[in-house]
């Protein structure tokens, strides 16, 4: 099919080449080119090259596992299962009630093995989860220098500290009288906490409203998050004075939204 299309394209390009004004002139004044050279010249043309590359790409994209191999795999699987059942039936008595019971016992044994394998997989998953959580908390608990915290605050690297860490930083900034930065630290506490609680996925290329849009949580919490985001926008991007919210009020809101993370911390 691809070969036929290739020939068709070649024919179109060569016809186009003959019909082009330049080609007509050359045909009239000069002897015709050797057909092989002419063909090579056509194959060199960007139009053909572009088509060929596109065709190759399309073929790559359309690549599918051959049904023949799929059938072979199913046959192999069937064979393995048959062998397994043969083995199970050989291990149990063949006649009468005893034979039937033996077959049930064999099946139960196989089911037991399967359950054991599943249990082992689940235990492995639990161990992995615990280790990952521990690693995360150890990373969070690492003590950053003042300079590192200041840099994280400036660059908006919310995951540099845990939510509770950012809340402490906010309190320190209050003492310094840097109220604009206080709100920034509070918002970073919110993002860090929500990320740990699994309600958002923090990524540096996302805007605050993207987090609101993709928020995973109850509608009420989403509204609170939306209000806090609008407030942060006003203060940080709008460079407006902090409105009549007290720090403790905002801290409470942040803590409520990130409850899981704060409790854990």
Partner 1 sequence: MSDELAAQLSTVTQKLGQLKEELKKVILGQDGVLEQMLITLLCGGHALLEGVPGTAKTLAVRALAMTLSCQAKRIQFTPDLMPSDILGTNVFNLAANTFELRKGPLFTDLLLADEINRAPAKTQSALLEAMSERHATIDGVRHPLSPVFTVFATQNPIEFEGTYPLPEAQQDRFLLKIKVNYPAEESERAILEAVHRGAPPDRLDPGTLVPLFTVGDLQRLQAALTRVRIEPGILSYVLKIVRATRENEAILVGAGPRGSIFLLTSSKARALLQGRDFVTPDDVLAMVGPVLGHRMTLSAESEIEGAAAEDIMKSILEKLEVPR
Query: Both ends of the chain: CA-CA distance in Å?
Result: 64
Q: How far is the CB of 191 from partner 1 (least distance, A)?
A: 8
Residue 202: in which H helix or E strand, if any?
none
- Find tokens 């803590």 and name the residue: 255
Q: Looking at 48, 85, 179, 236, which residue binds partner 1 (CB under 8 A)?
A: 236
Residue 232 to residue 24: CA distance in whole angstroms: 70
CA angle, residues 152, 158, 160, in degrees to nearest 5: 60
Q: Which of 206, 222, 251, 260 binds partner 1 (CB under 8 A)?
A: 206
Q: Are 116 and 99 in contact (CB under 8 A)?
A: no
DSSP 234: I
90 binds partner 1 (CB under 8 A): no
**Contacting residue, 146, 219, 220, 237, with partner 1 by CB under 8 A:** 237
User: Is residue 219 close enough to count as binding partner 1 by CB under 8 A?
Assistant: no
CA 245 to chain centre: 38
Helical (H) or strand (E) element with 3: helix 2-19
Q: For residues 56 and 82, which CB has a smaller minimum distance to partner 1 in the complex? A: 56
Residues 6+ apart with CB under 8 A from 171: 247
Q: Out of 156, 172, 226, 251, point to the residue binding partner 1 (CB under 8 A).
A: 156
CB nearer to partner 1: pick between 69 and 237: 237
Structure tokens at 132: 């990952």
Residue 9 contacts partner 1 per CB under 8 A: no
* Cβ atoms of 197 and 261 closer than 8 Å: yes
Which lies closer to partner 1 via its Cβ, residue 102 or residue 181? 181
Tokens of 237: 């991007």
Answer yes or no whether residue 179 interacts with partner 1 by CB under 8 A.
no
Q: Taking a C-beta distance cutoff of 8 angstroms, is the pair 144, 160 a contact?
A: yes
Question: Does residue 238 touch partner 1 according to CB under 8 A?
Answer: yes
Tally: H helices and E strands in the chain: 13, 0
| Identity of the residue, 140 or 184, whose beta carbon is nearer to partner 1 in the bound complex | 184
Q: Is 142 near partner 1 (CB under 8 A)? A: no
Lay out the site mask for partner 1 across 51-80 (x = CB under 8 A, - = otherwise): --xx--x-----------------------
- Which of 50/150 has CB closer to partner 1? 50
Least gap, CB of 8 to partner 1 (angstroms): 20
Q: Which residues of this protein are in contact with partner 1, per CB under 8 A?
A: 50, 53-54, 57, 155-156, 158, 184, 187-188, 204-210, 233-234, 236-240
């Amino acid at each position: 099919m691809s070969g036929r299309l290739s020939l068709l394209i070649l024919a179109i390009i060569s016809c186009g080449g003959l019909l082009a004004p330049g080609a007509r002139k050359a045909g009239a004044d000069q002897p015709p080119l050797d057909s092989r050279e002419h063909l090579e010249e056509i194959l060199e043309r960007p139009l053909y090259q572009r088509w060929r590359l596109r065709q190759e790409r399309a073929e790559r994209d359309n690549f599918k596992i051959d049904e023949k191999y799929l059938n072979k795999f199913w046959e192999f699987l069937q064979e393995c299962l048959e062998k397994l059942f043969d083995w199970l039936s050989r291990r149990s008595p063949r006649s009468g009630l005893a034979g039937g019971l033996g077959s049930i016992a064999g099946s139960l044994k196989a089911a037991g093995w399967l359950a054991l394998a599943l249990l082992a997989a689940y235990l492995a998953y639990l161990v992995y989860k615990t280790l990952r959580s521990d690693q995360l908390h150890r990373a969070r608990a690492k003590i950053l220098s003042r300079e590192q915290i200041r840099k994280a605050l400036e660059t908006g690297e919310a995951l540099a500290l845990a939510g509770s860490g950012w809340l402490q930083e906010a309190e320190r900034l209050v003492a310094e009288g840097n109220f604009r930065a206080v709100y920034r630290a509070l918002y970073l506490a919110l993002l860090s906490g929500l990320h740990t609680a699994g309600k958002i996925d923090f990524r540096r290329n996302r805007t605050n409203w993207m987090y609101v849009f993709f928020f995973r949580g109850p509608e009420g919490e989403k509204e609170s998050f939306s209000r806090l985001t609008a407030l942060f926008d006003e203060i940080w991007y709008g460079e407006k004075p902090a409105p009549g919210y007290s720090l403790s009020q905002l801290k409470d809101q942040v803590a409520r939204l990130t409850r899981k993370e704060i409790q854990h911390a």
